[in-house]
Amino acid sequence: MKLLLENWRKYLNEGEAEDQFNIGSIIMGEFVTEDDRHIVIVKALDGPVAFYRSTGTGTGKWTKGMYLPFSGVSPDGPGRGSQFWFAKMSPGHPQSGEKSSKVPKEGSEFDRIGKYLGAKYGTGGTGSRADEFMNSIGYKSSEELGIKASPIFGNPLYDAMATNLFLQKWGALGALGDKYQWWGIDEIEGMKAEKK
């Protein structure tokens, strides 16, 4: 009986974030990176857009936990330590904020979606991981591609490839109008696992 009541309470609370932000059902898909960044593809007015939960390491602690829009993982990031950079909004994007271009302007569509996702997921969130997603779409594993994981850094290349292919699957790769290179899109063509 207790389990039944807990499930019923969860069912009643599921719509709270949607009701609070008057958004409705906009979630298209979820993904979790190797370093536990939660990524959600949502239906925005101009089409699918990816949002990730910020770790607060790039811009500062004030963005930690925020869901921010991004276009994919690129080697074109600013600075030397940005080989696997999450390509965020540029300062010229119409929804870009003033304090930081990656944080949406207060009251904009992306701002409302980000706040909705924060209320809905908090610090949680589920979704497929790189190896699960790549297997589900018929791509080779990192071992089959010869991409070795580091005991310290994990496997950021394979994770970046999977993230970008996940965004591409939902039509969100490059959705912010960026002209970057995307890990795994050019490199992985022709690397699909052979059908048995």
13-63 pLDDT, tens digit per residue, is 444 555 555 566 789 999 999 888 999 999 999 999 999 999 887 767 889
Q: How far apart are CA 38 and CA 126, in angstroms?
A: 7
pLDDT tens digits along 135-193: 999 988 888 888 888 877 788 899 999 999 999 999 999 999 888 889 887 654 444 43
Judge contact between 170 and 48, C-beta under 8 A.
yes
pTM, entire model: 0.82
Q: Can you list the alpha helix ranges (DSSP code H) found in 23-69? A: none
Q: What is the mean pLDDT of residues 53-80?
A: 87
- 173 or 82, greater pLDDT: 173
Q: How far apart are CA 40 and CA 28, in angstroms?
A: 7
**Tokens linked to 50:** 């990816």
A 10 A CB-CB count for 104 gives 25
A 10 A CB-CB count for 7 gives 10
